Amino acid sequence: MDTTKFSKDVLIEACETLERNHSLSNEPEYFANPTNASILFRKNISKKSTRVIDTHHQAIFNCVKNILEKNDSYRYDNLLITEFARDITTFDCLTESLKLKSKTYADRYLTSSDIYMDAQSAYRGPIVKSYTANFDFALLPMKLRLAIEVYFKNMIGFIKAEYKIKKGHKKNKTGDEQIQISQILNFFSEDENKEFANLPVDILLIKYINFWSNSFVHSGIISLAWQGLTAVELLSPLFNSNNHDGRIDINGFNYINLSKTEIELQSKISRYLSTDFKDVNILLEKRRARPIEGSYAKPENALTK
């Protein structure tokens, strides 16, 4: 049996079923709307969750249409076709919303041994794993999560954080504070703090994608293919190597607002993270002509000294 052709049949049937039987949006930036993105990346799927199912239908249709039409942004090969066919089958089994005749199945979970053996394969060469689908594609959420964390910590010039207990039997105790990327994203999502960065992507979208990627990192449960592709496309402006003014930097651009000093940002984040129980102090790197990675997106905003 030609498995690629069979998988492609699943995609074609799903696309035709969605066009024929379901109401779809023609809005090109449908998932740039935080409400829609929140449903796609934060809500659990069940037969009773009509709004969630409809949102996934939209994502499936958008991605599958691009695959079948050989959009230049997509690799038109066995990988995408197979991964999508398997995930569409899984989705249809959960929701019974497409009632497809063509079906193909795959594992939905990465075992710890599979992940360990993949790490071994980095220096020992290919190792046979029990996971039957594409392992690299399965790790897509983890890669995006790491990209988000490294980007934001480098954007602000994060060095370290320290705490000091304010009361109780441990009063005045100090130590290193572990800062989660979710805390930094929450800081920038506050209206009063958005002025510290001129982000090209809505901070809520980044928060929702980070939440979704964490679900995989902490559970090993495989995300759905269209969630991964949609997340990559939504984050694309943040990692774009082409700037609005025509400059190009292979390492991307830093969207920190240079009209605000690192001292102002350091003080504001420290206050934001501090509680009645402990003070938290963030240490940021002194601003330089070039940021830790890439180039400043808007160097014209830099304060003159």
pLDDT tens digits, 111-134: 899 899 999 998 998 887 788 788
Residue 110 in any domain: the answer is no
Q: Considering only CA atoms, which of 90, 109, 108, 110 is closest in space to residue 100?
A: 90
Largest CA distance in the chain: 70
**Which residue, of 95, 115, 130, is where some domain finishes?**
95
Whether residue 181 is found in the same domain as residue 73 = no
Which residues constitute the domain of residue 245?
139-301
pLDDT at residue 107 in the model: 75
Closest CA to 85 of 137, 22, 139, 141: 137
Residues 237, 168 share a domain: yes
Same domain flag for 235 and 289: yes
CA angle (190 as vertex; 145, 277 as ends), nearest 5: 90
This prediction's pTM: 0.92
Provide the H-helix boundaries in the chain.
3-21, 34-42, 50-68, 78-95, 112-124, 135-138, 140-156, 181-189, 203-219, 225-235, 262-273
Going from the C-alpha of 244 to that of each of 134, 142, 301, the distances in angstroms are 36, 29, 14
Q: Which residues of the chain have pLDDT under 50?
A: 1, 305
Q: Which two tokens stand for residue 124?
A: 């020992």
**Structural domains in the chain (count):** 2
Q: Is there a contact between 43 and 208 (Cβ–Cβ < 8 Å)?
A: no
In sign, the C-alpha dihedral spanning 212, 213, 218, 219 is positive
CB-CB contact of 242 with 252 (8 Å): no
pLDDT of residue 305: 46
Q: Check residue 300 and give its pLDDT.
A: 76
pLDDT of residue 2: 54
Does residue 85 share a domain with residue 200? no
Shortest CA distance to 15 belongs to which of 65, 55, 67?
65
| Domain stops at, among 95, 129, 156 | 95
Q: How many CB atoms lie within 10 A of CB 57?
A: 23
Do 286 and 176 belong together in one domain? Answer: yes
Give me the pLDDT at residue 239, please: 97
Are residues 278 and 197 both part of a single domain?
yes
Q: Is residue 177 part of a domain?
A: yes
- Does 21 lie in the same domain as 166? no
Residues 6+ apart with CB under 8 A from 85: 6, 7, 8, 10, 11, 102, 104
Show which of 95, 115, 148 is a domain's final residue: 95
Per-residue model confidence (pLDDT) at position 286: 95
One domain, residues 156 and 71: no
Please report whether residue 155 resides in a domain.
yes
Q: What is the pLDDT of residue 103?
A: 75
d(CA 107, CA 32): 30
Residue with tokens 């402006």: 237
72 with 159, same domain? no
Residue 248's beta-bridge partner residues?
242
Number of H helices, E strands in the chain: 11, 5
Residue 1, pLDDT score: 47
Neighbours of 233 (CB within 10 A): 15
Domain-embedded: residue 107: no
